[in-house]
Amino acid sequence: MPLLTVDELTVTFGGRGRKDVRAVNGVSFDVDQGQVVGLVGESGCGKSVTSLALMGLLPSKGVTLGGRAELDGTNLLSLTPSKMRDLRGRDMAMIFQDPLSSLNPVVPVGVQVTEILQRHRGLKGEAARKEAAHLLDRVGIPDPTRRLKEYPHQLSGGMRQRALIAMAVACAPRLLIADEPTTALDVTIQAQILELLKELVDQEGTALLMITHDLGVVAGLCDQVNVLYAGKVVESAGRRELFAHPTHPYTHGLLGSIPRLDAPRGEPLHPIRGSINDQIAWADGCAFAPRCDRYEMECLTGTPELTEPRAAGHHARCANPVLATTEVPA
């Protein structure tokens, strides 16, 4: 049985006088123990809302959840707030894009780490301080004892993200959700943070749900990839299969818009035309159709189903998938 099962998850924002917005529209995927699963797509496609729903961090007012999300058999969508607080940190933890806004600016880093150790592992005083220093050392922060006394603004962006990762792994959670953890960092620091996450997954057997708009991150890290468009998974496959044979025109577009070093000089980039705002409702057809080069009348006759047009285990939601072999190196 998978560690996390997400089945037809929907998240709808609404409320008095406002038009309902269905930000997540029937998303399904699994995460196995020790596996790295990617959730990829352009900004606004529902990645963060999905992760916040799993973590129980969406406001209860004006938000309607549907479907199922189970962590080792526990339904995450129906937990009481206090049960959810126990689970968060202990069984599942999250790392956000902006480390500065996730840390309390007026509390020393050490106090923030020891608070977690006290709450979830019952460590106090010297034992908590020692374990906090050990954790900072574990995530590659030099001189941890001194760093623990400092405030978040005294750390560099990369160090802050390392501190947040230390806090996330403090209780050895079984599932780590990372929402664009490297987007706010310099490229060299990005690579170090990704390396650190990979190491934690390998050594601790933690499952990682990696949320990103960056296919480079996916290529380097993920075992299984889910491509999201307008709140629905449009393609899912193992990493190698996905990069070797992108089947949904949207995935194709994402891959085609990355600069390639082996392309002839002067070769233009091929960005996907239009924006995520050019979409039709999934109920009426394929939401990607207005931006798609392969669209046919059939694409406007109701929601396309997920099928396996190419290979078993490789799903695509498309009436006219790309089936020719392309050479996109992983």
Ligand X SMILES: Nc1ncnc2c1ncn2[C@@H]1O[C@H](COP(=O)(O)OP(=O)(O)O)[C@@H](O)[C@H]1O
Cβ proximity to ligand X: between 49 and 242 the closer is 49
Closest CA to 176 of 184, 167, 168, 187: 168
Give the span between the Cα atoms of 202 and 222, in whole angstroms: 12
Residues in 155-214 at the binding interface with ligand X, rule: CB under 6 A = none
Query: Contact residues for Mg ion (CB under 5 A)?
Result: 47-48
Contact flag: residue 43 with ligand X (CB under 6 A): yes
Stretch that binds ligand X, among 45-53, 68-76, 262-270, 286-294 (CB under 6 A): 45-53
| CA Rg value for the chain | 21
Sheet with strand 207-212: strands edge to edge = 92-95, 175-179, 207-212, 36-40, 224-229, 232-238, 314-316, 307-311
Other beta carbons within 10 angstroms of residue 204's beta carbon come to 14
Interacting partner of 46 out of ligand X, Mg ion, none (Cβ under 5 to 8 A depending on kind)? ligand X
* Nearest distance in Å: CB 132, ligand X: 31
Q: Whole-angstrom Cα distance, residue 95 to residue 185?
A: 14
The CB-of-180 to Mg ion minimum distance in angstroms stands at 6
CB of 47 to Mg ion, least distance (A): 5
State the binding partner of 151 from ligand X, Mg ion, none, CB within 5 to 8 A by kind: none
**Which is closer to ligand X, CB of 96 or CB of 243?**
96
Residue 279's nearest CA partner among 322, 246, 234, 324 is: 234
By C-beta, is 13 or 151 nearer to ligand X? 13
State the minimum distance, in angstroms, from the CB of residue 276 to ligand X. 8
Q: Which is nearer to Mg ion, 48 or 224 (CB)?
A: 48
- Please check whether residue 123 is in contact with residue 115, taking contact to mean a CB–CB distance below 8 angstroms: no
> Does residue 218 touch ligand X according to CB under 6 A?
no
| Minimum separation from the CB atom of position 40 to ligand X (A) | 9
Least distance in angstroms from the C-beta of 179 to ligand X: 7
* Out of 4, 6, 9, 45, the residue judged to bind ligand X by CB under 6 A: 45
**Interface pick for ligand X out of 48, 212, 247, 320 (rule CB under 6 A):** 48
Partner from Mg ion, ligand X, none contacting 49, C-beta within 5 to 8 A by type = ligand X
Which residues contact residue 110 at a Cβ distance below 8 angstroms, ignoring those fewer than 6 apart? 129, 132, 147, 148, 149
CA-CA distance, 308 to 247, in Å (whole number)? 10
**Shortest distance (Å) from residue 48 CB to ligand X:** 3
Residue in 12, 13, 140, 192 binding ligand X, rule: CB under 6 A: 13
Fill in the per-residue mask, 22 to 41: x = in contact with ligand X (CB under 6 A), - = not in contact.
-x-----------------x
Contact call for residue 232 and ligand X (CB under 6 A)? no
Residues that bind ligand X (CB under 6 A): 13, 21, 23, 41, 43-49
